[in-house]
Copies of this chain bind each other. A is one copy, B any other.
Amino acid sequence: MLDYDMDKRGTLPRYEYLYRRIRDDVLSGELAAGDRLPSKRELARRLGVALVTVESAYGQLEAEGYVTSRPRSGFYVNALPQVTQAMPRPPASEAAAEKDETAADSLLADFSRPATRADSSAANLWEKALRQTFAQEPREALFAAQPAQGTLRLRAAIASYLQRSRGVAVDPANIVVGAGAQAIYAMVAALGGQGAEVAVEDPGYGRVWATYDACGRPVGFVPMDKDGMRVDLLSASDVTVAHVMPSHQFPTGRVMSAARRFELLGWAAAAERYIVEDDYDCEFRMAGRPVPPLLAADTASRVIYVNTFSKSLSSALRLAYLVLPTDLMRLWHERLGFLACTVSVVDQVALARLLESGDYDRHVARFRTQQRRLRDDLLAVLCATAAGDALGFEETDSGLHFVLAAEVVGDPAEAERRIAREALAGGVRLAPLSSYAHDPANATPRDGRARFVMQYDGLDPALVPQVAEALAAAVAHGRVAHT
């Protein structure tokens, strides 16, 4: 016992080898509970190693609870519960074979999701911002503890940006920064009362309700009409929070009408109710000026404003924020104020600098122009195709997607599936508008047209003609059932 051959230790340090051998003897029962280990000095002599080697091994065994040291007596083996023979964990070999989900697939175009890569000007802008941040900001400001809401500097920069771009005066003390829109939705969920139901628009953005659902909130689906969420139906329910996208609803692209806005604000003001205003792509209104947010008319402090930099910079950066009415801000501090902010301070300072310098505003203006050109190009080329006469374009001005409507023969839902299938075969992925409806009855409007949500911001401009031809062919072929 304890007569280990130290030459067999291979590349292990002596103390480590010794520790392992003794541990294994304890685990195997070779050394039994209550056994006294030889004194350090004695074992060192016996094995021909330095005293410090044995000391380290014993210290390790004691730290891990295999042995106990009794003052002026020595080290004793502890009793261990019986365990079954250890089996190896599954090897990591599968990992190498795992397909990286980020790999680009071979489609010509995918209109079913937003751009999955940042525009190169956004990438350049971010690199420059980080470089200048390191060059010009004191290190202490980049690696310091930060308030749970995010740094004051970024919040002040966001407040000032909201003032100049959205015409609303917001107190930086009411802003909370978070790692992406969903992290923000989760905060909103945590602020709701126990069991409080959240109403979402139907059709709508799946990740909104899925996030509320994952956070344990019951979700109610409220149909849209041409003016926006149906507040009459909302009023008839017990719901106390309504999540809407008034500037540019996803997926319908509709702008909530002024009348509906006031109706919704009135609904919230009439009781302890709140509106979550999701302003996710407000910067990309393509004609006229941006539609003012509900927040600007929120005299009753009932609007929770949510926005993200995913559209204007990149969703890979995870930058979003929340503006809370003062009473909810108090509640936030009470319930969530202990949580660390989820955005790196380095990134927060870099973003604040972009907002302060005007670089961000200039980037957005350029990017909007570029996207407008892309949209114009796509629409013009689509119109000129053989299927052009059967195509209509809806809500083309409100943001980074529009709705493509195709006149079809027979059931529109079936035609949508046929056209989408044909398009995919031609390398173009389409998302039928009806696929965003939770309740099929809420898929609107029913006028005999097949409709598709066209998220065009990820489209390669060079491929527009090819994509348009593939689309036209799919529509021409799929608009009529071939039996």
Task: Tell whether A182 is near chain B: CB-to-CB under 8 Å.
Answer: yes
- Given the known A-B contacts A123-B142, A183-B179, are A63 and B288 also in contact in the complex, defined by CB atoms under 8 Å? yes
What separation, in Å, do the CA atoms of A81 and B130 have in the docked complex? 48
* In contact, B227 and A397 (Cβ under 8 angstroms): no
Q: A120-B139, A170-B92, A258-B64 are in contact. Are A182 and B339 (CB under 8 A)?
A: yes
> In the complex, what residue of chain B is closest to A260 when comparing beta carbons?
B65
A259 to B227 alpha-carbon distance, docked (Å): 66
* Copies of this chain in its oligomeric complex: 2
Within 8 A of B (CB), among A200-255: 206-207, 210-211, 214-216, 227, 255
Q: In the complex, what's the smallest C-beta–C-beta distance from A264 to chain B, in angstroms?
A: 10
Nearest 7 CB-CB pairings of A with B:
A65-B257, A118-B143, A116-B145, A179-B342, A316-B345, A65-B258, A60-B288
Q: How far is the CB of A168 from chain B (nearest CB, A)?
A: 7
Nearest chain B CB to A321's CB is how many angstroms away?
14
Query: Could you tell me which residues of chain A, from 109 to 143, have a CB within 8 Å of some CB in chain B?
Result: 113, 116-118, 120, 122-123, 126-127, 130-131, 134, 139-143
How many residues on A have C-beta within 8 angstroms of the other chain's C-beta atoms?
Answer: 118
Q: Whole-angstrom distance between the alpha carbons of A173 and B152 in the complex?
A: 38
Contacts of A131 in B (CB 8 A): 131, 134
Min Cβ gap A385→B in Å is 26
Chain B residues within an 8 Å CB radius of A173: 94-95, 98
* Bound CA–CA A100/B340 (angstroms): 15
One of B80, B190, B317 near A346 (C-beta < 8 A): B317
Given A64-B258, A314-B143, answer yes or no on A171-B342 (Cβ-Cβ < 8 Å).
no
CB contacts under 8 Å to B, within A353-367, are none
Cβ of A299 and Cβ of B339 under 8 Å apart?
no
| Residue of B130, B215, B299, B338 touching A84 (CB-CB under 8 A) | B299
Q: Which of A95, A142, A397 has the most CB of B within 10 A?
A: A95
Chain B residue nearest to A185 (CB atoms) is B339
Contact B142 A86 (CB under 8 A): no
> Across the interface, which residues of B come within 8 angstroms of A207, CB to CB?
338-339
Among B15, B65, B342, contact of A342 (Cβ-Cβ < 8 Å): B342
Closest-by-CB residue of B relative to A101 is B147
A156 within 8 A of B: yes
Q: Sample 12 A-B pairs with CB under 8 A, ordered by A number.
A: A65-B258, A83-B265, A92-B159, A94-B173, A98-B173, A102-B146, A126-B143, A130-B346, A131-B134, A179-B318, A215-B216, A317-B344
Residue A298 CB within 8 A of the other chain: yes
Verify if A87 is at the interface (C-beta below 8 Å from B).
yes
Instruction: State the CA gap A265–B292 with chains docked (Å).
Output: 57
Q: Does A151 contact B (CB under 8 A)?
A: yes
A 42-70 contacts with B by CB, 8 A: 56, 59-60, 63-66
Q: Which residues of the partner chain B approach A292 to less than 8 Å between Cβ atoms?
A: 64
Instruction: Name the CB-closest residue of B to A93.
Output: B171
- Distance, CA A151 to CA B122, complexed state (A): 20
In the complex, A381 has a CB within 8 A of chain B: no
Q: Give every chain B residue within 8 A of A171 (Cβ-Cβ).
A: 90-92, 94-95
Report the separation of the CA atoms of residues A191 and B433 in the bound assembly, to the nearest whole angstrom.
32
A286 to chain B, nearest CB (A): 11
Q: What chain B residues lie within 8 Å of A108 (beta carbons)? A: none
**Chain B nearest Cβ from A470, distance in angstroms:** 22
Are A169 and B83 in contact, CB atoms less than 8 angstroms apart?
Answer: no
CB–CB B316/A169 < 8 A: no
Does A256 make an interface contact (CB < 8 A)? yes
Confirm or deny: A386 has a beta carbon within 8 angstroms of a beta carbon on chain B. no
Closest residue on chain B to residue A78 by CB atoms = B259
Partner of A216, one of B182, B216, B318: B216
B257 touches A316 (CB 8 A): no
Instruction: Confirm or deny: A153 has a beta carbon within 8 angstroms of a beta carbon on chain B.
Output: yes
Question: Shortest distance in angstroms between A77's beta carbon and chain B's nearest beta carbon?
Answer: 10
Tell me, yes or no, whether A373 is within 8 Å of chain B by CB.
no
Nearest residue (CB) in B for A255 is B63
Q: How far is the CB of A53 from chain B (nearest CB, A)?
A: 11
B140 and A117 within 8 A (CB):
yes
Tell me whether A340 and B143 are in contact in the complex, defined as CB-CB below 8 angstroms, given that A89-B170, A100-B152, A173-B98 are known contacts. no
Q: What is the distance, in angstroms, from A223's C-beta to the closest C-beta of chain B? A: 18
